[in-house]
Chains A and B, each alone.
Chain A
């Protein structure tokens, strides 16, 4: 069983988190969050993979063919929707930050500490 998809998922997670930690731009932060989310999608889809599997369209499945797991595909679709909602909300906030305060730099917006 190839480990490459799992390695890719782990890499995406780490890269996304690194980007979040070192980011200086609101939109960049939001996109790094998307990268973190993508790591879970890759992991889920990899889990559903079956060797020599066919697409899980059950009306047309050739005999003897094992379909890949459709449940994880449904999970990923749901997660993408959740991710879209979060991204949309965050981008709206970032846009407001730019409109009202003229900056995308989280440092210039930082008011709360201690």
Chain B
């Protein structure tokens, strides 16, 4: 699964000049489909017995791992399958959308897939880092693909520099752990650290991992690069970016915590609190920023940040249901976001801009697309009983059992705000509701003008169909009856450090206790409908904003303009600012970690 996309990428790079474009498209799509299929097969196999492969047959000796292994558990295989599916969808979409997708686009996408696959499946810490870098560097290349414009250069540079600094913090963490333990195998590290108190070195290593992976995972305050990168990357690329790349950052945190750090005594509850706080801050910041964006791609970028925050909340609960919920949430939201990005791509194609103000009313000739995007916005707002809702319900149930009921309000607010922002945009574009020109007191720069990725042609229906397929998949994930069961079983295998060590080092695997059937109570349904209602309310308020009585508008303006200006100014697009926030974030989290660990 790692070798196949690598071979595909190299093949295309070598021969692509001589092959017609249709053939390179077919080869890359074929490779991506093959990876997805293999990952699904592995998922089913891994549920019965996780798969371990030692490279070069260097098996562990006396509990000491001499070689590098691939340790496939169902969670990793599932993440790999999602990556494959999203890359396939992006490649299919790009056959219609992208005029000039030369062979380098396919090469980079396949390398991205290779990196994602390796990242999900490896059992060695340094191997994890290397695949993380492969994934990242391909992403930098893909972001800066439209090199002829000013924006992509800025966006790709910021993305690359900030994320590389983050990755090298991960490497610092690896160095610290290696210095302490002398091993790089995840299972072995876990058993070496088990039972130890969290001393300064362990804390620093953990902090570096959280920060480094958190940069990729767009956690506050490491998230400033995301909006700039998303605004300039070509649309097909954004589908896997938003669906799997950001989530792999969180996956990295979860994987490293559960396999390496979960045995350290006294670490869990403190870290849980810290991650919960970071998740809440990220979710709310992202949600609020979605309302301030006139550019559709940036809007969806901040929606991704908000989703990332909610996913981290689920992970931070450190329970089986929480992790299972996060997994389902990631799948649901990844697919729905992908569908929305594809819709944006269609609009860019047809009208040459993604600025909501400029697109006002122009969507009327694409009613099907309007329907898809409206449904997607509602799914984003956690409409029951579809995909994102199922994940959120599991997370909420678990949080409630832990007495952390306040997270449901965060979830309602976030889902409502992001769903509302998208509904507002959709209504203005497709139904011509709402103000047709930007208001004079808001300085909304025209950030939406970008060159369409193909010459003016009528919109190919295939693009809308692909978008609808993604949306359907995202929504149906919640309806598939055994999805919650499978997710819970996968989560229980993921979370058991002793179990992991058992099946990686010694090949012993005991099936975990079967999960109790998921029980989605009436409260969770209410929450789901609540966030949809909030989304509709926000959408309507945003639309009729200009018709409100002047005094009311004046009050809102006075209350809101200060924080809004502050948030806008923080998102400066300056590389120096983003790096400064990274450093501040690490310092802040080290202080907070010291506080919660006592």
Contact = CB atoms under 8 A, between A and B. Distances in A.
A18 to B, nearest CB: 9
B574 A106 contact: yes
Nearest to A101: B150
Contacts of A94: 157
B141 A89 contact: yes
Contacts of B445: 113-114
B137 A106 contact: no
Contact of B153 (A13, A39, A97): A97
B196 interface: no
Interface in A56-114: 71-72, 75, 78-79, 82, 85-86, 89-90, 93-94, 96-97, 100-101, 106, 109-114
A109 B168 contact: no
Contact of B160 (A72, A90, A110): A90
B144 A93 contact: yes
> Which of B137, B293, B444 gathers the greatest number of chain A CB atoms within 10 Å?
B137
Nearest to B170: A40
A43 to B, nearest CB: 5
A113 B171 CA distance: 30
Contact of B231 (A13, A26, A78, A112): A112
B155 A17 contact: no
Interface residues of A, number: 40
A109 B579 contact: no
A21 B580 contact: yes
A89 to B, nearest CB: 6
A1 B157 CA distance: 40
Contacts of B231: 112
B517 to A, nearest CB: 46
Interface in B209-228: 227-228
Interface in B410-435: none
A96 B156 CA distance: 12
A112 B227 contact: yes
B157 A90 contact: yes
Contacts, number: 125
Given A36-B165, A37-B168, A47-B179, A109 B137 contact: no
Nearest to B227: A112
A114 to B, nearest CB: 4
Given A112-B227, A112-B573, A106 B165 contact: no
B179 to A, nearest CB: 4
Contacts of A30: 161
Nearest to B579: A20
A33 B140 CA distance: 15
Interface string B441-474: 0001101000000000000000000000000000
B576 interface: yes
A72 B144 CA distance: 33
A47 B175 CA distance: 8
B180 to A, nearest CB: 9
A32 to B, nearest CB: 9
B148 A100 contact: yes
B355 to A, nearest CB: 13
A26 B445 CA distance: 25
B172 interface: yes
Contact of B150 (A22, A33, A109): A109
B330 interface: no
Nearest to A24: B576
B151 interface: yes
Contact of A111 (B126, B150, B179, B184): B150
A89 B137 contact: yes
Contacts of B174: 75
Nearest to B162: A20
Contacts of B172: 13, 39-40, 43
B160 A112 contact: no
Given A44-B171, A44-B178, 19 more contacts: A17-B165, A29-B575, A40-B168, A40-B171, A40-B172, A43-B172, A47-B178, A75-B126, A82-B130, A82-B133, A89-B141, A90-B157, A93-B153, A106-B574, A109-B153, A109-B154, A110-B154, A111-B447, A114-B568
Interface of A: 13, 17, 20-23, 26, 29-30, 33, 36-37, 39-40, 43-44, 47, 71-72, 75, 78-79, 82, 85-86, 89-90, 93-94, 96-97, 100-101, 106, 109-114
Top 3 nearest A-B pairs by Cβ distance? Answer: A47-B179, A113-B573, A114-B568
25 contacts: A17-B165, A17-B583, A20-B575, A21-B583, A23-B575, A23-B576, A29-B161, A33-B165, A40-B172, A44-B171, A72-B178, A75-B126, A78-B126, A85-B133, A85-B137, A89-B144, A93-B144, A93-B160, A96-B147, A111-B573, A112-B231, A112-B232, A113-B568, A114-B444, A114-B447
